[in-house]
């Protein structure tokens, strides 16, 4: 094992013993199950109505139209997943990122680690590796539940292309939640106060999820997390046009919703993203920025600050 | 590096935060095989000195060599050669002693980490703690597990920061015996303390730090010859320290 892997393995083992992290991961999994059930329930209802309609239309000699479910994207039944990724997935990543540093600080082991041969870069790399693996595990769990839902749902045939796009959606979700985790990890490294890192990352998350969509597209907070109502065109007023252009590239939750809708096949026809930067590029740049922030903050981590007696 | 290289050599080692100087230029040489007692009042700069020598803090000025490795140019080799027990060590509460030590052993690059952990626990007489969670331990038990992580990789030089702080008399005696055994095995020990009794019983040389300045440094025999018993040592400590404080 490399020193970074040793740090990562220890960090993951510590996370598995953290009640808070496990609780939030459990809630996320439960909500993914709810999302799957809602998709299954909606499909079953439509299928039931369609079956009754077929019997009736045949009895009166009328032509039977195709099942409406066949006209829409099969992946659309999982659209509620974007809500849970945006809300609970990101928050789980934030708590995980913060705990990865804070747990070591509270345990008073930072000086013990820093007084050993591995360089600070190795420690930070190990922590970032642990975070990426933890969020990957969370998203993989959601992917497995979603995949099983699609396989078990009657009347939904998922094509190979749709499976690929579903994979792309979970890759996108992993990058999105990990971004917030990295910000929390970096903030926890920079701010020795116990709640400081958590608060800083949470405020950023709140701003990105609720405030920016309101400024760029007049999307109210509740609509901002709705996979359908969040996807609206920029209001045609000078203020929103300017704000949409300026803030659009950093309005992460909107970029995520836009890309997720595109991958899942429910993006409204003709809807253009805000700003001049394509959402995919925005996301790539901001993920890279979060990684750099986490790395630089980790390197600046003071092993003597804070700690169990602070 | 040879075995005749001093364990610690500092030249004008200084630490300042803005206008406040915590450690004034410190020049000191500590030979190998010593148990060096670093005395001083709270806030005198003892912990800062240890943090500088263990690479946990970057000096504002000056140079230092620890176990033959330069602080600025060879920090990784320096870290590989030292062990460090901070004051109030905690460790991972939810992990057992064994799990904690295996982690720190692996970070120190030990390949035979399981064997080393077993040997170290046996050396410290705490085999019974191996499978118990550290979070359930008393202060004294934690201190010994903390000491285990510090000596696990057989360092040439061991830094102990107030190792007896918060320990009961039995714990203090146990720690004293362990320090004596480590010294007998050839390890150099640098110990911050303000317990004069510990210095008198354990150390082979002492330094006194007052307001960030080294105001006294000599071998223990010289101190004993000059000042006699422990009470005289106390007079020396308080006299040197207080004269600095009131100067």
More confident residue, A236 or A297: A297
Q: Does residue A95 lie in a domain region?
A: yes
Q: Does residue A272 lie in a domain region?
A: yes
Q: Does residue A262 lie in a domain region?
A: yes
- Domain ranges in chain B are 8-246
Q: Which of B79, B92, B108 sits opposite A107 (nearest CB)?
A: B92
Q: Does residue A259 lie in a domain region?
A: yes
Give A303's contacts in chain B (Cβ within 8 Å).
56
Residue of B99, B106, B166 to mutate, interface with A, max A Cβ within 10 Å: B106
pLDDT surpasses 70 at B245: no
May I ask the CATH class of domain B8-246? alpha beta
Residue A310 exposed, middle or buried by CB count within 10 Å (0-12, 13-18, 19+)? exposed
pLDDT range class, residue A20, cuts 50, 70, 90? confident
Give the pLDDT of residue A310.
Answer: 55
Cβ under 8 Å to A: B residues 5-44: none
Residue of A11, A112, A301, A303 to mutate, interface with B, max B Cβ within 10 Å: A112
Instruction: Express each pLDDT in A51-75 by its tens digit.
Output: 899 999 999 999 888 887 777 777 8
Give the pLDDT of residue B22.
Answer: 93
Domain span at residue A260 reads: 3-299
Task: Name the least confident of A202-206, A213-217, B181-185, B216-220.
Answer: A213-217
Interface predicted TM-score (ipTM) of this complex, two decimals: 0.91
Give A103's contacts in chain B (Cβ within 8 Å).
92
Q: Does residue A161 lie in a domain region?
A: yes
Average pLDDT over residues A18-34: 85
Q: Do B107 and A113 make contact, defined as CB atoms within 8 angstroms?
A: yes
Q: Does residue A85 lie in a domain region?
A: yes
Number of compact structural domains in chain A: 1
Q: Do A107 and B104 make contact, defined as CB atoms within 8 angstroms?
A: no
Q: Do B104 and A108 make contact, defined as CB atoms within 8 angstroms?
A: no
The nearest CA of chain A is from the CA of B165 a distance in Å of 14
Instruction: Express each pLDDT in B164-184 by its tens digit.
Output: 887 888 888 888 899 999 999
Q: Quote the CA–CA distance of A31 and A37 in Å, as a whole number.
A: 10
The nearest CA of chain A is from the CA of B10 a distance in Å of 18
Neighbouring residues of A141: CB distance < 8 A, sequence distance ≥ 6: A29, A32
Q: Does residue A308 lie in a domain region?
A: no
Task: Name the least confident of A24-38, A173-187, A291-305, B112-126.
Answer: A24-38
Kind of pairing between the strands at B20-30 and B8-17: antiparallel
Secondary structure of chain A in the HEC alphabet?
CCHHHHHHHHHHHHHCCCHHHHHHHHHHHHHHHHHHHHHHHHHHHHHHHHHHHHHHHHHCCCCCCCCHHHHCCHHHHHCCHHHHHHHHHHHHHHHHHHHHHHHHHHHCCHHHHHCCCCCHHHHHHHHHHHHHHHHHHHHHHHHHHHHHHHHHCCCCCCCHHHHHHHHHHHHHHHHHHHHHHHHHHHHHHHCCCCCHHHHHHHHHHHHHHHHHHHHHHCCCHHHHCCCCCCCCCCCCCHHHHHHHHHHHHHCHHHHHHHHHHHHHCCCCCCCCCCCCCCHHHHHHHHHHHHHHHHHHHHHCCCCCCCCCCC
């Amino acid at each position: 094992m490399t020193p970074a892997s040793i740090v990562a393995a220890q960090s993951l083992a510590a996370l598995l013993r953290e009640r808070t992290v496990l609780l939030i991961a459990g809630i996320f999994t439960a909500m993914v199950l709810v999302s799957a059930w809602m998709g299954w329930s909606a499909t079953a209802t439509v299928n039931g109505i369609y079956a009754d309609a077929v019997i009736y239309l045949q009895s009166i000699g009328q032509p039977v139209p195709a099942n409406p479910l066949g006209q829409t994207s099969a992946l659309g039944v999982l659209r509620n997943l974007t809500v849970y990724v945006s809300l609970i997935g990101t928050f789980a990543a934030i708590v995980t990122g913060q705990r990865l540093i804070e747990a070591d600080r509270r345990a008073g082991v930072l000086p013990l680690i820093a007084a050993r041969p591995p360089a600070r870069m190795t420690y930070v790399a190990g922590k970032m590796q642990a975070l990426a693996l933890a969020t990957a595990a969370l998203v993989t769990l959601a992917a497995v539940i979603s995949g099983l839902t699609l396989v078990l749902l009657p009347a939904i045939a998922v094509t190979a292309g749709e499976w690929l796009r579903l994979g792309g959606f979970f890759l996108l979700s992993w990058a999105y939640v990990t971004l917030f985790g990295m910000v929390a990890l970096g903030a926890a490294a920079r701010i020795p106060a116990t709640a400081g890192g958590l608060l800083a990352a949470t405020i950023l998350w709140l701003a990105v999820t609720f405030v920016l969509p309101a400024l760029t597209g007049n999307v109210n907070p509740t609509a901002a997390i709705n996979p359908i109502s969040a996807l609206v065109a920029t209001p045609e007023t000078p203020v929103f046009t300017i704000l949409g252009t300026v803030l659009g590239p950093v309005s992460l939750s909107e970029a995520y919703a836009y890309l997720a809708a595109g991958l899942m096949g429910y993006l409204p026809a003709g809807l253009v993203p805000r700003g001049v930067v394509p959402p995919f590029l925005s996301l790539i740049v901001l993920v890279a920025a979060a990684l750099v922030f986490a790395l630089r903050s980790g390197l600046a981590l003071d092993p003597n600050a804070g700690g169990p007696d602070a | 590096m040879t075995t005749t290289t001093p364990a610690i050599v500092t030249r004008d080692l200084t630490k300042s935060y803005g206008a406040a100087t915590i450690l004034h230029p410190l020049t000191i040489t500590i030979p190998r095989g010593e148990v060096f007692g670093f005395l001083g009042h709270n806030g005198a700069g003892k912990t800062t000195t240890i943090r500088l020598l263990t690479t946990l803090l970057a000096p504002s000025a000056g140079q230092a060599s620890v176990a033959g490795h330069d602080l600025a140019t060879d920090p990784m080799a320096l870290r590989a050669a030292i062990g460090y027990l901070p004051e109030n060590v905690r460790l991972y509460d939810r992990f057992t002693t064994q799990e904690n030590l295996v982690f720190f052993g692996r970070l120190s690059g030990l390949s035979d980490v399981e064997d080393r952990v077993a040997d170290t626990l046996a050396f410290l007489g705490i085999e019974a703690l191996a499978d118990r969670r550290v979070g359930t331990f008393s202060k004294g038990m934690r201190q010994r597990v903390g000491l285990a992580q510090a000596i696990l990789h057989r360092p040439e030089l061991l830094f102990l920061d107030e190792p007896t702080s918060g320990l009961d008399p039995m714990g203090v005696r146990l720690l004293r015996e362990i320090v004596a055994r480590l010294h007998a095995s050839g390890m150099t020990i640098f110990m911050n303390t303000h317990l004069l009794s510990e210095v008198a019983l354990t150390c082979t040389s002492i330094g006194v730090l007052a307001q960030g300045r080294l105001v006294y440094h000599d071998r223990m025999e010289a101190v004993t010859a000059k000042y006699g018993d422990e009470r005289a040592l106390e007079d020396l400590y308080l006299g040197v320290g207080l004269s600095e404080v009131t100067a």
